[in-house]
């Protein structure tokens, strides 16, 4: 989907997704108690309308133990604060986390449904931006609508708030290239921008309308099925990453308990659980790849004929390459 490449567990886009908290199934009773106290404090502040304070406590709870329920409240609070880009990305993370947690505890199935409902509510209000950054060096940094974008995400569509916002590329010396772009809700805009050399003067580049391409309410919207297929792909890959990690951990544990590969019969349940983890990981991988591939195909076929010939001719005369589409699909993660 248009936003599929933007999301991975641990993404730096969402406020809560950078947490280093203990995985919920590995948390000790003391860690759970600490996280619960922080969660309840946040919930009280949330009910009182003290949203900024509540957000800090929900994030602190998630930093202690990575509970999907705490992260769901992070997403809800961000939405209440009109920080919908972060809210959407966090809700997508919660849906994937809750799906995995529900394997051990079915109560998280409700959390997954609530996160998916929140993401579906926010999604139509956002846009996406595809970028081509020319002349970029290893030290170049990119900001879109005031948000720093990790280097590995530059080639992927970036979730953006609707309206007009600024794209800034900076060099190591602090010199900047700036451009404004307008993207309507539910649409995708494109921009080509040239990063400044370290020796250039601090100036504005690509700031004229001729250097930007944007969509408005009259542009071709993102086909809804693209979002659906991409969302399935994201959840599938998140499932693969999580269950793959659990499977490896279970196998390592069994090997340490089974000298000469001979295991006590009491460990049979552990072995069976390891097999279930492996099956879930493989299914997640298949679903993830299929979802992303389907989303990409739908995106290309749904928008390939949307640009009028006159628009394409004007773009060619301006010397700006208009790229409506993913261009490539890249998914990264770590166990």
Specify whether 178 is located in the same domain as 162. yes
Helix (H, G, I), strand (E, B) or coil at 107: coil
Helix (H, G, I), strand (E, B) or coil at 133: strand
Specify whether 242 is located in the same domain as 273. yes
Specify whether 11 is located in the same domain as 64. yes
Cα within 13 Å of Cα(279), Cβ side? 7
Domain end residue (candidates: 189, 213, 237): 213
The residue segments making up the domain with residue 20 are 4-124
Q: Specify the number of domains making up the chain.
A: 3
**Domain CATH code at residue 62:** 1.25.40.10
What is the full per-residue pLDDT of the chain (335 aa) written as tens digits?
333 333 333 333 344 444 568 888 899 999 999 999 999 999 999 999 999 999 999 999 999 999 999 999 999 999 999 999 999 999 999 999 999 999 989 999 999 999 999 999 999 999 999 999 999 999 999 999 999 999 999 999 999 999 999 999 999 888 999 999 999 999 999 999 999 987 644 444 444 333 444 444 344 555 555 566 566 666 767 777 776 777 677 677 767 777 666 677 776 777 777 677 677 767 767 776 776 666 665 555 554 444 444 444 443 333 333 333 333 333 343 33
Specify whether 50 is located in the same domain as 162. no
Residue with tokens 């999907």: 68
Q: Are 100 and 243 in contact (CB under 8 A)?
A: yes
Q: What are phi and psi of 129, to 5 degrees?
A: -135, 130
CA distances from 198 to 170, 191, 194, 203, 236 (A): 9, 22, 13, 12, 42
CB contact set of 41 (below 8 Å; sequence gap of 6+): 57
Specify whether 209 is located in the same domain as 232. no
Specify whether 88 is located in the same domain as 142. no
Cα distance between residue 9 and residue 234, in whole Å: 9
Q: Would you say residue 88 lies in a domain?
A: yes
């Amino acid at each position: 989907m248009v936003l599929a490449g933007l999301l991975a567990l641990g993404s730096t886009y969402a406020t809560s997704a950078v947490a280093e908290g203990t995985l919920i199934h590995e948390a000790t009773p003391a860690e759970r108690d600490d996280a619960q106290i922080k969660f309840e404090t946040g919930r009280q502040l949330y009910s009182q309308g003290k949203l900024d304070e509540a957000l800090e406590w929900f994030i602190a709870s998630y930093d202690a133990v990575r509970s999907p329920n705490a992260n769901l409240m992070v997403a809800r609070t961000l939405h209440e604060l009109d920080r919908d880009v972060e809210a959407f990305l966090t809700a997508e993370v919660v849906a994937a986390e809750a799906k995995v947690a529900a394997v051990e505890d079915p109560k998280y199935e409700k959390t997954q449904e609530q996160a998916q409902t929140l993401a579906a509510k926010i999604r139509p209000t956002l846009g996406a931006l595809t970028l081509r950054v020319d002349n970029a060096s290893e030290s170049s940094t990119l900001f879109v609508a005031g948000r720093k974008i990790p280097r590995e995400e530059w080639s992927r569509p970036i979730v953006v708030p609707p309206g007009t916002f600024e794209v800034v590329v900076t060099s190591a010396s602090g010199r900047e290239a700036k451009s404004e772009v307008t993207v309507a809700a539910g649409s995708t805009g494109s921009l080509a921008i040239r990063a400044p050399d370290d020796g250039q003067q601090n100036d504005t580049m690509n700031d004229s309308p001729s250097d930007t391409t944007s969509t408005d309410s009259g542009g071709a919207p993102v086909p809804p099925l693209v979002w659906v297929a991409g969302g399935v792909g994201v959840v599938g890959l998140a499932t693969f990453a999580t269950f793959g990690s659990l499977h490896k951990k279970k196998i390592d544990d069994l090997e340490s308990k089974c000298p000469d590969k001979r295991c006590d019969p009491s460990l049979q349940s552990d072995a069976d659980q390891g097999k279930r983890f492996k099956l879930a990981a493989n299914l997640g991988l298949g679903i993830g790849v299929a979802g992303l591939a389907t989303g990409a195909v739908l995106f290309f076929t749904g928008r390939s004929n949307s640009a009028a010939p006159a628009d394409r001719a004007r773009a060619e005369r301006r010397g700006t390459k208009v790229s409506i589409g993913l261009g490539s699909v890249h998914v990264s993660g770590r166990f």
